[in-house]
Amino acid sequence: MALTRISLENFRNHAATTLGETAHFNLLVGENGAGKTNLLEALSLLGPGRGLRRANLGDLAKKAAPGDPPQSFAIGASLSEAGTVSARIGTYSEAHQPGRRLVRVNGAPATATSLAEWLALSWLTPAMDGLFTDSAGARRRFVDRMALAIAPDHARRVSALETALRERGRLLETRAEARWLDAVEAQVAGHSAAVAMVRAELVARLADELSALPSEPFARPALTYRPGGPTDETALRAELARQRPRDRAAGRALSGPQRDELEVVMASTRLPASSCSTGEQKAMLIAITLAHGILAAAGRPSVLLLDEVAAHLDPVRRTELFRRLRQGKAQVWMTGTELAPFEAIRDEAAIWRVSGGQAERV
């Protein structure tokens, strides 16, 4: 199963771009600023969430000049197996509501969350290189995006939890009656238990996949899920009720999955990933991405987006990366400024030369 007949209209610097005759390996080659990453971002929006750049929807539509009124954009792709189209999925905006994202599946209106039922997406970008030294919130978002591979409705649960937490915060601030807090805390506890369960399952399954992968040439990370509070619904509900004065003073809930942490250490040395070298951190991030790709490819079509990954690997790691990707079920999209790093897979890849918001098949 693979993405085919990919089309972009008025997206970033792409006025009208079509990518057809895709393959297992798909290469987007061009100078910096040509629009390669914009293509990957478009593909990343064929799943729930804000895509690999987490951009505002109003910033995605192409504008003829600065200050122009909002425009609309559209991204579409077919899911095909053995040359037969099984579904057409797409996302778009409308000029009169540039901040609202719309979705269609097989021509019918759908939700962004439902896209995860059709396609599993994973990606690795240069912006993620600082994940291990970033905030705990960044790592939670990383985990939640990966969790869609095993629980397509996880994004809906996380959103519902965030909404309930904001409502609890408002009630605490206004010193609402206890019965109102009881009701909203029951919602928080219910959503929290579901979110925590999926996060814990994902990390456990990733750890299993990582243990089965060779430890060389990519450093093998060891993952641990650290919950930010009770994961049992009843226990968390009691904790929230008990800690109302503390949380009112803090202005936020100090217990629950909004405080979860993903702990990553290098398996061979037990050194925290945040203390490892830049090269070691990159190698561990690639290992996690590959392990997640294995999980994501089980059960539905899977796409792996790798932005500028090959150019920053030595020949040994690059060869091993291509070998593992070749063995995997996920369709792979990679970007680079030149073809040289991809010489080992050039004959089996679909290649496009990207320039000025246009893509030409090589």
Q: Is 263 exposed, middle or buried (0-12, 13-18, 19+ CB in 10 A)?
A: middle
H helices present in 56-177, as ranges:
136-147, 154-173
Asked whether the beta carbons of 175 and 119 are under 8 A apart, the reply is no
Q: Where are the domains of the chain?
A: 1-119+301-362, 133-299
Q: What percent of the chain has pLDDT over 90?
A: 77
Express each pLDDT in 3-40 by its tens digit.
Answer: 999 999 999 999 999 999 999 999 999 999 999 999 99
Mean pLDDT of the chain, nearest integer: 93
If one compares 103 and 155, the residue with the highest pLDDT of the two is 103
Q: What is the mean pLDDT of residues 98-108?
A: 94
Q: What is the mean pLDDT of residues 207-213?
A: 89
**Residue 1 confidence (pLDDT):** 66
pLDDT confidence of 126, banded at 50, 70, 90? Answer: very high
| Homologous superfamily assigned to 1-119+301-362 | P-loop containing nucleotide triphosphate hydrolases (3.40.50.300)
Amino acid identity of 223?
L
Express each pLDDT in 250-292 by its tens digit.
Answer: 999 999 999 999 999 999 899 999 999 988 898 899 999 989 9
pTM of the model: 0.90
Cβ neighbour number for residue 81 with a 10 Å cutoff:
12
**Residue 69 confidence (pLDDT):** 75
Q: What is the mean pLDDT of residues 183-190?
A: 98
- Tell me the CATH number for domain 133-299: 1.20.1050.90
H helices present in 19-135, as ranges:
36-44
